[in-house]
Every structure is written in structure tokens, then in C-alpha cells.
């Protein structure tokens, strides 16, 4: 395992724990606010909906790239250096994780702002 793979794994673990924290925190905050207000905030905020769909699209595209790389391992359509292949795989996994984390953060901000409204 090269140094870059170790750094990517450490970064992945840190981001995953950050995501778990945000999900738990958002769920705890969500229980304390009015659900009707939260639903209205989600669907009336155009930038929120656009950001959510954009992040989902990017995550799906990165997942497709990762799946293609896995198929390339099996069938060897394209020959490439192992380190480049590893960087692409780890990068796509990290990209999906970052998109998911940003999505959870957007929900956290939305729920956190709704908590302070009457």
C-alpha cells in the first residue's frame, strides 16, 4: 500500500465519522422542530433542491466510474498502472463520500435553521 492510499484511507475514515456525527445531530434536532415547517422549508428552497439533485447526480456518476474500474479489473479492457487504477478507485469512493457528506450537511443546516424559527 502506497503513502497516498494510506492518506486517502485516513481521510475517508475522518469524513465518514464526520458524516455519522452530522446524521445523528440532524436526527436529534429534527425531533425538536415542527415537521410541517421543515417540509415547507425543503420544498420552497429552490437552491436546496437543486443542490441535493446535483450532489446525487455527481455521486451516481462517480459510482459508475468506480464500477467501470472494477469491471476493468475483471476483464482488462484497458491496461493501466496499478497506482493510477488505485488512485481512480479511491478517488471515486472519496468523491461519493464527500457528496454524501455535503448532502447531510445541507440537511443539517436546514434543520438547524428551522429550530430557531417560531
Q: What is the pTM of this model?
A: 0.85
The enclosing H or E element of 3 equals helix 3-30
Regions of the chain with pLDDT less than 50: none
C-alpha cell at 27: 436526527
Give the C-alpha separation, 5 to 11, whole Å.
10
Enumerate the domain spans of the chain. 3-115
| Structure confidence at residue 66 (pLDDT) | 94
Amino acid at each position: 500500500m502506497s503513502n497516498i492510499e494510506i492518506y486517502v484511507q485516513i481521510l475517508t475514515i475522518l469524513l465518514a465519522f464526520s458524516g455519522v456525527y452530522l446524521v445523528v445531530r440532524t436526527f436529534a434536532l429534527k425531533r425538536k422542530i415542527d415537521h410541517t415547517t421543515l417540509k415547507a422549508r425543503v420544498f420552497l428552497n429552490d437552491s436546496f433542491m437543486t443542490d441535493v439533485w446535483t450532489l446525487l447526480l455527481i455521486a451516481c456518476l462517480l459510482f459508475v466510474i468506480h464500477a467501470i474500474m472494477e469491471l476493468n479489473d475483471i476483464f482488462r479492457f484497458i491496461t493501466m498502472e496499478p497506482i493510477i487504477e488505485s488512485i481512480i478507485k479511491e478517488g471515486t469512493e472519496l468523491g461519493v463520500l464527500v457528496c454524501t457528506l455535503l448532502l447531510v450537511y445541507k440537511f443539517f443546516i436546514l434543520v438547524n435553521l428551522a429550530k430557531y424559527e417560531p
